[in-house]
């Protein structure tokens, strides 16, 4: 009689085959898919480059600044970069629609440049990267982040000391 | 000319029903192979809805799924088996291993990328890609195969 039960269940619930690709596919909430990079939050600490086992992330010094490159065709979607990133600059979205024709393979990368700027304190050439928020109490306000972004490491330290934060 | 065209078109429409899939393991860690098997064998994903079936012989294949970073040990065998697959064939690289070498990239023991040796048509990145992503890649491969035949 068991088969009758299964038969009735299948009749009521429909097939267990997921409708994809003819319909939408269910994606788990914690799916680790395509990597997203948020340039304005990146501190340029290069922790993500250090922990990336297949070497999918690379930083290069260019005349314009520090260039971030990340290849989805090398990434093994381990999530280490997001885990070690001190800010929310690198994030794995749940987008897994990455199958592509071979002609598009060089487009499967992220290329961004953290530009050089002149420090507002001393005028030295420095990277316009976001400040590291780790251990800063109370946390940076958005204005402070913008102020620190345009300062060299020494002037950032000075500003932090004046703020009364152990750096 | 138009008659020939019509005949060719109807022959093509008859021929392009069901591509057969063949799977080459070029030294994969088995992760991608498990996902390929899942895609084909488990009713939940069921790639046969797209009209494809896995076949056991390279001589029957239309779409080739290749997994693994093409290890030095297996390279010659993979190339020999690949040469046995009749044209027109469409090659799908499943996982980041055949695409770039992935976690084994720049190892002395692997010859990735596979597209240095074989013409690859579709890349499915992931380590391993989820079954739906493989189905997506196969669907793209079928579209290419329909044009190519
Ligand atoms: S998810 Fe893992 S492999 Fe991918 S970029 Fe981040 S650290 Fe590298
Ligand atoms: S802030 Fe995050 S994304 Fe930027 S270099 Fe550091 S770890 Fe990488
Ligand atoms: S892509 Fe990842 S899961 Fe697939 S064969 Fe390579 S290492 Fe294994």
Q: Which residue has a Cα nearest atom 4 of ligand 2?
A: A42
> Does residue A10 register a pLDDT over 70?
yes
**DSSP one-letter code for B126:** S
Q: How much helix, strand and coil, in percent to the nearest 5, is found in chain A?
A: 30, 20, 50
Does A165 score more than 70 pLDDT? no
> Which pLDDT score, from 0 to 100, does residue B112 have?
85
Judged by CB atoms within 8 Å, which residues 25-64 of A form the interface with B? Answer: 25, 31, 53-55
Third-level CATH fold of B2-148:
Rossmann fold (3.40.50)
Chain B residues with CB-CB distance to A18 below 8 A: 44-45, 132
What mean pLDDT do residues B25-51 have? 90
Query: Looking at per-residue confidence, does B9 or B55 come out higher?
Result: B55
User: B27 CB less than 6 Å from ligand 3?
Assistant: no
pLDDT at B2: 80
- Checking ipTM against 0.90, whether it exceeds it is no
Ligand 3 atom closest to B31 (CA): 3
Spatial separation of the C-alpha atoms in residues A80 and A51, rounded to whole Å: 6
Exposed e or buried b for every residue in B75-96, given b needs 16+ CB within 10 A?
beebeebbeebeeebbbbbbbb
List C-alpha distances in Å: A30 to A33, A93, B15. 9, 9, 42
Cα A112 from Cα A58, distance rounded (Å): 11
Q: Distance between CA atoms of B71 and B67, rounded to whole angstroms? A: 11
Answer whether B96 sits within 8 Å of A76, measured CB to CB.
yes
What are the tens digits of pLDDT across the range B78-96? 999 999 999 889 999 999 9
Supply A53's token pair.
Answer: 């086992």
Q: Identify any residues that bridge with B100 across adjacent strands, giving them in sequence order.
A: none
Give the distance from CA A15 to its chain's centroid.
Answer: 38
Taking each helix axis from N to C end, the angle separating A153-163 and A142-149, rounded to the nearest 10 degrees, works out to 150
Please determine, for residue B67, whether its predicted confidence score (pLDDT) is greater than 90.
yes
Does the pLDDT of residue A167 top 70, yes or no? no
Query: What local confidence, expressed as pLDDT, does residue B48 receive?
Result: 87
Given a cut of 80, whether residue B15 has pLDDT beyond it is no
Residue in this structure with the two tokens 């294949």, named with its chain if needed: B61
Is any ligand 3 atom within 6 A of the Cβ of residue B127?
A: yes
pLDDT attached to residue A22 = 87
Q: Which of A111-125, B45-59, B96-110 has the lowest mean pLDDT?
A: B45-59
Higher pLDDT pick, B14 / B75:
B75
Per-residue pLDDT band at A166 (split at 50, 70, 90) = low
Q: How distant is the Cα of B111 from the closest Cα of chain A, in angstroms?
A: 15
- At residue A18, the pLDDT reads 86
pLDDT over 60 (residue A163): yes
Strand segments (E) across B1-149: 20-25, 53-54, 63-67, 90-94, 122-124
Specify the pTM.
Answer: 0.88
Percentage of chain A lying above the pLDDT 70 cut: 98
Cα B18 from chain centroid?
14
State yes or no: pLDDT of B77 exceeds 80: yes
Structure tokens at A5: 């039960």
Half-sphere exposure (Cβ direction) of A108: Cα atoms closer than 13 Å: 26
Residue B106 CB partners (closer than 8 Å, separation 6+): A55
CB A36 within 8 A of CB A90: yes
Lowest mean pLDDT across A60-69, A134-143, B59-68: A134-143
Whether B25 has its CB under 8 Å from any CB of chain A: the answer is no
pLDDT for B1: 65
Q: What is the pLDDT of residue A149?
A: 93
Q: Which residues pair with B64 in a beta bridge?
A: B22, B91
Distance CA A109, CA B48 (A): 32
Which pLDDT score, from 0 to 100, does residue A85 have?
95
pLDDT at B134 over 80: yes
Domain A29-163 indexed as CATH 3.30.70.20: yes
Using a CB-CB cut-off of 8 Å, the residues of chain B touching A108 are 123, 125
């Amino acid at each position: 009689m068991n088969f009758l039960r299964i038969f009735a269940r299948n009749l009521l619930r429909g097939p267990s085959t997921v409708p994809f690709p003819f319909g939408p596919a269910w994606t788990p909430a914690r799916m680790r898919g395509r990597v997203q990079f948020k340039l304005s939050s990146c501190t340029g600490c290069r922790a993500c480059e250090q922990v990336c086992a297949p070497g999918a992330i690379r930083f290069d010094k260019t005349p314009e600044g520090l260039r971030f490159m990340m290849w989805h065709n090398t990434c093994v979607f381990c999530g280490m970069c997001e885990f070690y990133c001190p800010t929310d600059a690198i994030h794995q979205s749940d987008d897994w629609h990455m199958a592509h024709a071979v002609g598009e393979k060089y487009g499967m990368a992220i290329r961004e440049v953290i530009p050089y700027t002149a420090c507002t304190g001393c005028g030295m050439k420095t990277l316009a990267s976001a400040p590291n928020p780790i251990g800063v109490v109370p946390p940076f306000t958005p204005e402070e982040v913008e102020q620190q972004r345009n300062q060299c490491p020494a002037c950032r330290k000075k500003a932090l000391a004046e703020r009364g934060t152990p750096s | 000319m138009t008659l020939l065209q019509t005949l060719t078109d109807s022959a093509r429409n008859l021929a392009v029903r069901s591509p057969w899939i063949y799977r080459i393991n070029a030294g994969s860690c088995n992760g991608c192979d498990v996902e390929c098997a899942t895609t084909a064998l488990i009713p939940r994903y069921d790639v046969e809805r797209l009209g494809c079936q896995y076949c056991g012989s390279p001589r029957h294949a239309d779409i080739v799924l290749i997994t693994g970073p093409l290890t030095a040990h297996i390279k010659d065998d993979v190339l020999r088996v690949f040469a046995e697959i009749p044209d027109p064939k469409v090659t799908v690289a499943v996982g980041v291993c055949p695409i770039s070498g992935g976690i084994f990239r720049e190892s002395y023991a692997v010859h990735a990328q596979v597209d240095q040796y074989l013409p690859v048509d579709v890349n499915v990145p992931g380590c391993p890609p989820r079954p739906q992503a493989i189905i997506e890649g196969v669907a793209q491969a079928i579209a290419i195969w329909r044009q190519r035949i």
